[in-house]
């Protein structure tokens, strides 16, 4: 039988995870347990330094837990705050990077690269370099690069925090479309409650390395910032963080 708290639809499980960074005085995560289901859009919110990014790093395998157990798939794609694109590679080469490292054959690389550049509407920019692109376009390349390896989970670490409002708005819509089209599990970190409520199925609220509460956002999509129930939902999260 499955362990308690895990079932066929669970894709990521944290079981009493603790994480202390070397030389740090306090724990980045303490007694952290969470379950993320396959195909859901999960968003972690909380103030700076609450351990949100640590959760992503642990899922991605970039960090190892000090204690506790993590179950997460091997094949994971990640989108970084400032893109983290390779400036010496073109849009196409950046997108193909993960596939090339895996040793995928050239025809398959071309096929997947084109597919995901189409998905993020950047096919015509395939020969450009990151410096020739706007901030929003760079993030799109970051998304295409992460999706190209066809990951089981897509992690996003505050991907829109450096972008202006209009670009963010556009990328929110695109990300939701991509999620609905690819049916990927998405785990996103954000410091904006509004962003979390706008995008996620469930919002995990964090404070001081602990998961305070997980809220199910049951508002129908497309959601709008202006609607009263949206504002109420955001307020609910703010209240929990402020407690």
Partner 1 sequence: MAVRTYHNHYRFSYTTSLRRHFSSLVFVLLAIILILISGINFITPRSTVNFSELSPLIIFEASLNTLLRLSIAYFFSLLFAIPLALFITKNQKIEKILLPISDIVQSVPILAFFPIIVLVFVKINFFNGAAIFILFMAMIWNIVFSLIGGLKTIPQDVKSAAEIFKARGLKKLWFVTLPSVFPSIVTGSFLAWGQGWNISIIAEALHNYIPHGSYSQDLFGLGSLLVNSFAQGKSSVFLASLITMIFIISVLNLFIWQKLLHVSERYKFD
Q: Which one of 5-13, 100-108, 192-200, 222-230 is the stretch in contact with partner 1 (CB under 8 A)?
A: 100-108
Query: Which residues in the 44-83 window bind partner 1 by CB under 8 A?
Result: 57, 60-62, 76-78, 80-82
Nearer to partner 1, 129 or 230 (CB): 129
Nearer to partner 1, 31 or 63 (CB): 63
* From 16, 33, 69, 86, residue interacting with partner 1 (rule: CB under 8 A): 86
Nearer to partner 1, 83 or 237 (CB): 83
Sign, CA dihedral 141-145-148-152, equals negative
Residues of 76-93 as b/e, b for ≥16 C-beta within 10 angstroms?
A: bbbbbbebebeeebbbbb
Q: How far is the CB of 18 from partner 1 (least distance, A)?
A: 21
- φ, ψ (nearest 5 deg) of residue 222: -75, 140
* From 1, 24, 101, 166, residue interacting with partner 1 (rule: CB under 8 A): 101
Q: How far is the CB of 120 from partner 1 (least distance, A)?
A: 17
* From 100, 115, 213, 238, residue interacting with partner 1 (rule: CB under 8 A): 100
Nearer to partner 1, 22 or 242 (CB): 22
Cis peptide before 222 (omega within 30 of 0): yes
Per CB under 8 A, does 24 bind partner 1?
A: no
Nearer to partner 1, 76 or 211 (CB): 76
As a whole number of angstroms, the distance between CA 39 and CA 186 comes to: 7
Per CB under 8 A, does 129 bind partner 1?
A: yes
Total Cβ atoms within 10 A of residue 132: 12
Output the CA–CA distances (angstroms, integers) from residue 202 to 30, 45, 54, 55, 107, in the order listed. 21, 11, 19, 16, 38
Query: Which residues in the 135-194 window bind partner 1 by CB under 8 A?
Result: 145, 149
Nearer to partner 1, 118 or 132 (CB): 132
Per CB under 8 A, does 87 bind partner 1?
A: yes
Sign, CA dihedral 55-222-237-140, equals positive
Token look-up 């404070």 returns 207
Nearer to partner 1, 87 or 220 (CB): 87
Residues engaged in binding partner 1 (CB under 8 A) = 57, 60-62, 76-78, 80-82, 84, 86-88, 97-98, 100-102, 129, 131, 145, 149
């Amino acid at each position: 039988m499955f362990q308690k708290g895990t079932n066929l639809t669970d894709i990521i499980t944290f079981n009493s995870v603790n994480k202390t960074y070397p030389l740090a005085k306090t724990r980045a995560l303490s007694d952290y347990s969470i379950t993320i289901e396959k195909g859901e859009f999960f968003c972690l919110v909380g103030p700076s330094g609450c351990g949100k990014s640590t959760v992503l790093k642990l899922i991605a395998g970039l960090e190892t837990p000090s204690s506790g157990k993590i179950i997460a798939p091997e094949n994971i794609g990640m989108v970084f705050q400032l893109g983290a694109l390779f400036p010496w590679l073109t849009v196409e080469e950046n997108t193909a990077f993960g596939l090339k490292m895996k040793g995928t054959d050239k025809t398959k690389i071309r096929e997947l690269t084109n597919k995901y550049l189409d998905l993020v509407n950047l096919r015509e920019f395939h020969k450009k370099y990151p410096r020739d692109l706007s901030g929003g376009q760079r993030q799109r390349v970051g998304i295409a690069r992460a999706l190209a390896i066809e990951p089981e989970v897509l992690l996003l670490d505050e991907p829109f925090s450096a972008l202006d409002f209009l670009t963010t708005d556009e990328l929110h819509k695109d990300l939701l479309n991509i999620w609905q089209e690819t049916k990927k599990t998405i785990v996103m970190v954000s410091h904006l409650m509004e962003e979390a409520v706008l995008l996620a199925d469930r919002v995990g609220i964090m404070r001081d390395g602990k998961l305070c509460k997980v809220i199910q956002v049951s508002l129908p999509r497309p959601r709008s910032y202006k609607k009263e129930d949206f504002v109420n939902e955001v307020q609910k999260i703010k209240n929990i963080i402020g407690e």
